[in-house]
Amino acid sequence: MPERYEVRYFGAGPALLPTEVLEDAAKALLNYDDTGLGLTELSHRSENAWDILKKTKADLAAFLDVPSNYEILFMQGGGSGQFSAVVYNLVGAWVERKKDELIEVLFGGKSEEEVDQDELVAELKKSIRSEMKLDYLITGSWSLKAYQEAIRLLGQDHVNVVTDSRAINTSGKFGKIADESDWKLSKNPAFVYYCDNETVDGVEFPKFPAALAPNKDGAGPIVVADMSSNILSRQVPIENFGVVFFGAQKNLGPAGITVVLINRDLLPPVTPQPSPALMRALGLPIAPVVLSYETADKNNSLYNTLPIFDVYIAGQVLKRLLLTFPNRVADQEALAKQKADIIYAALEEHPDIYRIIPDKSVRSRMNICFRVTMTKDIKDSEMEFLELAKDRGLIGLKGHRSVGGIRASNYNSVPLEGAVELAEFLRFFAKK
């Protein structure tokens, strides 16, 4: 049985956590802050729990430079839960905006109580049928799942495919992102969704898409991004997004919490959610209370029992990052690029042995996906590769079950030495 220090772990998630953080967390499991109780035993409504939540929010905001008009919510359900949550919450926000617009235009600005409710519902239904669209950029397996969930909740008529990378790839698989000039964005969609880094397919947006950027007046689409696998690894223009969400289990902490950064303009009192009665009358889905951004915000993320131990570990990771990197996420971004460059350079040196899957323009820094092609039987070649890598303490390199191949996940907790050792093994294996 190898010791922890004897292995380099490149698994895609749950991912590696800093050893120092885990050692500290192990003590907190038994006795936190001299309370005589472990963190998993303390009430989530205790003063200790509230303090952990407050500090973690503050450190996350500091590291990512989150603007003050954004709220940080801690929720559960992972990225998959957010595929549903963004639909429920932002469709409700769209309905509320459209309702106010109709009252102003068709009913002369009367108060909602003065308007004929049946007539208002009828007009809203017309607008929903003709105008309401949710825009999705399908660039990999996770954005495809998000798109499929939107269809399941609302039906195909309300979901628009802005771009599908499979259509521009000769293999019919993911691996590229279409030029923005070819995107088909809707007019005034409820939101535009994309996944910033696709863990399965090794595709990452090189920067925020210019087609989604706000204009000089600050107007633009409500952009939603899933950053589960590259958050904290590079600078993010948070102010360009309506919602950013991410599961903790890649760069922040253990699986169990999902973080949502949301512009307060999308929350009450600026944008209330329609009543359940109105949503039912319109034939639209109503958000379960545990997926309601409004509920999470009103209750300081503690409407139900939040796993405070997971929040604590995330807080310790952030504290360590802030101490390590004077320039915060900018320094972490430089290190992430350095590590990725080292690994990709080793792969590129041996094109007869390794085939990098995604196009160079969209290669992920976090999930480096490739095939071992030294023989006609790629599976045998990759089995040999994985076995020899394991013998050298390099583990977690097997690709996702849906696509196969090799995947080296280069998350923040993978040290520079780990990237160097993997690159050395890539060269060794190729020459062998």
Domain range for 339 is 328-431
State residue 107's pLDDT score. 86
Verify that 168 and 281 share a domain, yes or no: yes
Pairing of strands 223-226, 243-247: parallel
**pLDDT-derived band at 109, boundaries 50, 70, 90:** confident
Task: Mark whether 140 and 274 lie in a shared domain.
Answer: yes
Tell me the two tokens of residue 41: 């035993």
Question: Whole-angstrom Cα distance, residue 240 to residue 150?
Answer: 22
pLDDT of residue 432: 82
What pLDDT score was predicted for residue 87?
Answer: 98
Q: Are residues 297 and 204 in the same domain?
A: yes
Q: Is residue 76 part of a domain?
A: yes
Token pair in block for residue 244:
């950013």
Q: What is the CATH number of the domain that holds 79?
A: 3.40.640.10
User: Quick check: 190 and 91 in contact, CB under 8 A?
Assistant: yes
Q: Which residues are CB-contacts of 31 (< 8 A; sequence separation ≥ 6)?
A: 37, 38
What kind and span of H or E run contains 225? strand 223-226
Q: Does any domain span residue 100? A: yes
pLDDT in tens, 7-26: 999 999 999 999 999 999 99
Q: Do residue 168 and residue 280 come from a single domain?
A: yes
Which pLDDT score is estimated for 7?
95
Does residue 243 have a pLDDT over 80?
yes
Q: Tell me if 332 is assigned to some domain.
A: yes
pLDDT for 103 beyond 90: yes
Residue 304 CA from chain centroid, whole number: 22
Q: Mean of the pLDDT values across residues 288-298?
A: 98
Domain-ending residue, one of 279, 310, 341 = 310
Residue 111, judged by CB atoms within 10 A of its CB (0-12, 13-18, 19+), counts as: exposed
Question: Which residue is it, tokens 């500091």?
Answer: 62
Residue 379: predicted pLDDT: 84
**Does any domain span residue 164?**
yes
In a domain, residue 284? The reply is yes
| Whole-number percent of the chain with pLDDT over 90 | 93
Residue 1 has pLDDT above 80, yes or no: no
68 and 136 part of one domain: yes
Q: Rounded to the nearest 10 degrees, how much is the dihedral formed by the CA atoms of 102, 107, 109, 113? A: -90
| Per-residue model confidence as pLDDT tens digits over 306-347 | 999 999 999 999 999 999 999 999 999 999 999 999 999 999
How many separate domains does the chain show?
Answer: 2
User: Which token pair is 112?
Assistant: 């909602």
pLDDT in tens, 169-201: 888 899 999 999 999 999 999 999 999 999 999
Asked if residue 42 is part of any domain, the answer here is no
- Residue 171's pLDDT is what? 84
Q: Which of 43-57, 182-196, 376-390 is predicted least confidently?
A: 376-390
Q: Quote the DSSP letter at residue 400.
A: P
CA distance 325 to 368: 24
Query: Which of 303, 288, 287, 297 lies closest to 264, judged by CA?
Result: 297
Final residue before a domain boundary, out of 246, 275, 310: 310
Model pLDDT, residue 380: 87
Same domain, 286 and 197: yes
DSSP class of residue 75 equals: E
Residues 257 and 119 in one domain: yes
Provide the pLDDT for residue 374.
73
**Is residue 406 a contact partner of residue 398, using CB atoms and an 8 Å limit?**
yes
DSSP string, 249-296: TTTTSSTT-EEEEEEGGGSTTTSPPPPHHHHHHTT-----GGG-HHHH
Q: Are residues 306 and 339 in the same domain?
A: no
Domain annotation covers residue 33? no
Residues 203, 269 within the same domain: yes
Q: Is the pLDDT of residue 377 over 80?
A: no
Name the residue with tokens 């196009």: 359
**The whole model's pTM is what?**
0.96
Domain end position, chosen among 310, 343, 376: 310
233 and 125 share one domain: yes
CA dist., res. 363 & res. 9, Å (int): 20
pLDDT band at residue 85 using 50, 70 and 90 as cut-offs: very high
Asked if residue 365 and residue 288 are part of one domain, the reply reads no
Question: CATH no. for residue 350?
Answer: 3.90.1150.10
Mean pLDDT of 60-82: 98
Quote the percentage of the chain above a pLDDT of 70. Answer: 100
276 and 358 share a domain? no
Instruction: Note whether residue 85 is domain-resident.
Output: yes
